[in-house]
Amino acid sequence: MSSAYIEPRTAVEHRLVALWSTGLGGIGIEAEPIGVEDDFFELGGDSLLAAELQLAIDMEFGVEVPAAALFLTPTIAALAEAVESAADNGGPEPVL
């Protein structure tokens, strides 16, 4: 990994780690523990799984995160910010 392990700090980050773990595990990739600065694509994720994960994030939190978010900044920390921003910009509050 290109970054040191940093554990999830917020409820949103913990839930995103669970989604990543489930998604990556579903294609046979064991990437435990997943830190908030780990790169989704370095862990073995691909564009198809990213699209599935995007949908799972939208459904899990009840907000619409921009589709490019995971591709442009593929970390838990950045996605947590995107989820929180989507909630702040008129979407429903993320279900914590």
pLDDT tens digits for range 53-67: 999 999 999 998 888
For residue 93, give both structure tokens: 């509050």
Q: What is the structure's pLDDT at 24?
A: 92
49 within 8 A of 27, measured Cβ to Cβ:
yes
Q: For the whole model, what pTM was predicted?
A: 0.86
Q: Is the pLDDT of residue 90 over 80?
A: no
Average pLDDT over residues 21-25: 92
% of the chain exceeding 70 in pLDDT: 91
Average pLDDT of the chain to the nearest whole number: 88
d(CA 60, CA 16): 9
The model's pLDDT over 42-53, given as tens digits with 9 standing for 90+, comes to 999 999 999 999
